[in-house]
Structure formats: structure tokens, C-alpha cells
Amino acid sequence: MHDCRPLLEKTDFPAIHRGKLTTLQVNLGYLCNQTCIHCHVDAGPRRTEIMQRETIDTILYFLRVSDVKTLDLTGGAPEMNPDFRYLVHEAHQLGVKIIDRCNLTILSEVGYEGLAEFLVEHQVEVSASLPCYLSDNVDAQRGNGVFARSIAGIQALNALGYGQKDSGLELNLVYNPTGTSLPPSQIELQAAYKKELNERFNIYFNQLFTITNMPIKRFGSWLISKREFDPYMQQLKEHYSEANLESVMCRSLLSVDWQGYVYDCDFNQMLDLPYANQGKRHLSDLLNVNVEGTPIAIMDHCYGCTAGQGSSCGGALD
Ligand code: SF4
Ligand code: SF4
């Protein structure tokens, strides 16, 4: 795989600083039942990096002593961490809102029976990738058969109340482009998704989040191999929107890797670009520390967050 980092280090992206910390985004490990082409984590079934119980207890301690109100769980497939249910149960007891970045197919894997019911019981918000409402496009990006299993996963969640009006069980879908284009209008695409998915499969969801593909890891390597890296970066820079700077997710989120080290965001974690450019810092170093005002570590990939309508784990920024 081609290393994108040397191509991103020299940057003219403007300096940014942290605001109030509201969200801890935790990567529970790189193990996944899928191997999607755009995956910025290079996750897959053979990865062995998994967060251990001791680090999970540090996460829970951090939640106890901080004002952080949202725990955002990612991976890999976060549910494949053997302590996933322990963490969710304990965080729920603390009154923290939990988001599970679920790939939907995990719901039908052998050994994960009862997962959907567990998510309901703990009022977990589900955020699920579905890069298209057409089967061929999804299978091309995420693997053969993934679309049908994803639809079945949404149907199972709908049957338990997810995405249904007034249920309080939020199901959001995530779209990212299949190629090198920027995402289309989030509002317009959400309307099309709602119409198509309802008409074709009788399924429901709350919001659609559009996310720009980041020029790092597997997608970045693919860009390099297709000689598309420089044109893609140029496109991101040409569509730079200063208005998005205020709301880039690193201003309010702290990203934690499977070993407990902290980063300004998940993308920086994947580039091994440490929190605030301070060298490797562990979450246990930040207990009772006010991070507001700390400079954020930036490189050229940050243009992926500010291009066009902007991009974050919660979709468009403007
Ligand atoms: S499901 Fe998510 S974590 Fe797993 S390979 Fe696909 S993009 Fe990566
Ligand atoms: S890539 Fe990360 S550090 Fe850069 S702007 Fe986006 S969220 Fe912030």
C-alpha cells in the first residue's frame, strides 16, 4: 500500500484550536467482518489490534471525571471487541449518549445474535454506512452481498423501533462517494434516499450524513495508484470553504486509538499524527485536563473536512 502521509505533511491549511470537548470517539480495534475499498482504517477480518479491558476502564474513568456527554464507538466493527457490551452497559449507566458506528452486516454474523436488542436496551444511536441505495454500487465498494445484508440489518433495526417516529431510537445512514467526486447536497440526497429506500424496501431512517472521502490510507493509496492523488487534493482545495472551519469535528471531539493514545480526530489517528502535535499522549494523561484552546494538529488532508458543504462524522457542516 502507498503511504500518503509524506504527500500531506506540507500544508497551508489554516491553524485551528480546540473548543469545548463534548465527544470522545473511541476506536475499539481494527477487526472487521468487511474490507471496504474506501476504509481509512484498513480494517478487516485478519487485524488483531483490539482495545483491552484495562484501556476500556480508562475510557470509563475519563467519562466519569469529564463533562463529555457523547461516546462515539468506531473500529473496525466496534461490536467485535469482546468488551463492547461491557463498555456500552457501563457508559449507559453513567448517562452518556452512545453512538455505535455499525456496518449493519455485523447484525447477521454468527455469534452476534441479540446485538440489535442490546442496542435498543441501551438506547444506542446507530450510525450505519450505506453508500448508495443501489445494490451494485454498494457491493462494488463494500463487498459482494453487503447491500442485501445491510438492507436486512436496517429492516431488523426498524422492527425494533429504530428510525421510527417518536421511538427515541435514532438510526442514521452514512453516504460517501464511490469515486473521486465530492458528496452531493446532503439535504437532496437524504430526500432521495428516504424515497427510494422506503419504496424499494419499506425501510426508515432518521438522517443521512454525507461524508467526503479522505485522501489517506486505503482510499489515499488507491488515489496514488490511479495517479489521482494530486487532482483529488486540488479539488478539495478549490472547494475550500472558510465557513466550515468553525465546526470541524476536531474542535469538540477527542479521538482515542485501540491502545488509549489520543489524537485530534480519527483521520489523524490513522495518519499517526498525535494530539496537538505533542508526541504520543495517552488518555490517562488528560484526566482532569481542560483541552480548550489547545492547537490542533493539521496536515493537507484537513481540506477534506472543509471542502464544499464540509464533512464530519455527523455529515455536512454547513
Ligand atoms: S465496515 Fe467500516 S471499518 Fe469495516 S472495512 Fe468497511 S469501512 Fe472499514
Ligand atoms: S482532518 Fe481532523 S484535524 Fe483536520 S480538520 Fe478534519 S477533523 Fe480537524
Query: What single letter denotes the amino acid at residue 76?
Result: G
Predicted pLDDT at 145: 82
* Residue identifier of the C-alpha nearest atom 4 of ligand 2: 302
Instruction: Tell me how far apart the alpha carbons of residues 77 and 102 are, in angstroms, rounded to a whole number.
Output: 7
Ligand 1 pocket test target in 28, 35, 36 with most atoms within 8 Å of CB: 36
Q: How far is the CA of 306 from the centre of ligand 2 (A)?
A: 9
Predicted pLDDT at 159: 97
Instruction: Tell me how far apart the alpha carbons of residues 207 and 250 are, in angstroms, rounded to a whole number.
Output: 21
Q: How far is the CA of 274 from the centre of ligand 2 (A)?
A: 12
Predicted pLDDT at 299: 97
Sequence-ordered list of residues with C-beta below 8 angstroms from that of 174, at least 6 positions apart, any chain: 127, 128, 129, 130, 131, 208, 209, 210, 211, 315
Instruction: Tell me how far apart the alpha carbons of residues 243 and 232 are, in angstroms, rounded to a whole number.
Output: 21
Per the CB < 8 A criterion, the answer to whether 129 and 32 are in contact is: no
**DSSP-derived 3-state class of residue 10:** coil
Q: Is the CB of 311 under 6 A from ligand 2?
A: no
Q: Is the CB of 32 under 6 A from ligand 1?
A: yes
Instruction: Tell me how far apart the alpha carbons of residues 301 and 271 are, in angstroms, rounded to a whole number.
Output: 10
pLDDT (tens place) for every residue of the chain, 318 residues total: 889 999 999 999 999 999 999 999 999 999 999 987 767 778 999 999 999 999 999 999 999 999 999 999 999 999 999 999 999 999 999 999 999 999 999 999 999 999 999 999 999 999 998 877 777 777 777 778 888 999 999 999 999 999 998 999 999 999 988 789 999 999 999 999 999 999 999 999 999 999 999 999 888 998 999 999 999 999 999 999 999 999 999 999 999 999 999 999 999 999 999 999 888 999 999 998 999 999 999 999 999 999 988 887 877 877
Predicted pLDDT at 251: 97
Q: How far is the CA of 206 from the centre of ligand 1 (A)?
A: 21
* Residue identifier of the C-alpha nearest atom 1 of ligand 2: 302
Query: What single letter denotes the amino acid at residue 40?
Result: H
Burial class (CB in 10 A: 0-12, 13-18, 19+), 10: exposed
Q: How far is the CA of 70 from the centre of ligand 2 (A)?
A: 19
Q: Is the CB of 91 under 6 A from ligand 1?
A: no
**DSSP-derived 3-state class of residue 168:** coil
Instruction: Tell me how far apart the alpha carbons of residues 278 and 295 are, in angstroms, rounded to a whole number.
Output: 10
Predicted pLDDT at 177: 87
Taking the model in full, what pTM does it have? 0.94
Which structural domains are found in the chain, ordered by start? Answer: 5-306 (3.20.20.70)
Q: How far is the CA of 43 from the centre of ligand 1 (A)?
A: 6
Instruction: Please list, residue by residue across 137-146, b when 16 or more beta carbons sit within 10 angstroms of its beta carbon and e when fewer do.
Output: ebbbbbbeeb
Per the CB < 8 A criterion, the answer to whether 180 and 174 are in contact is: no
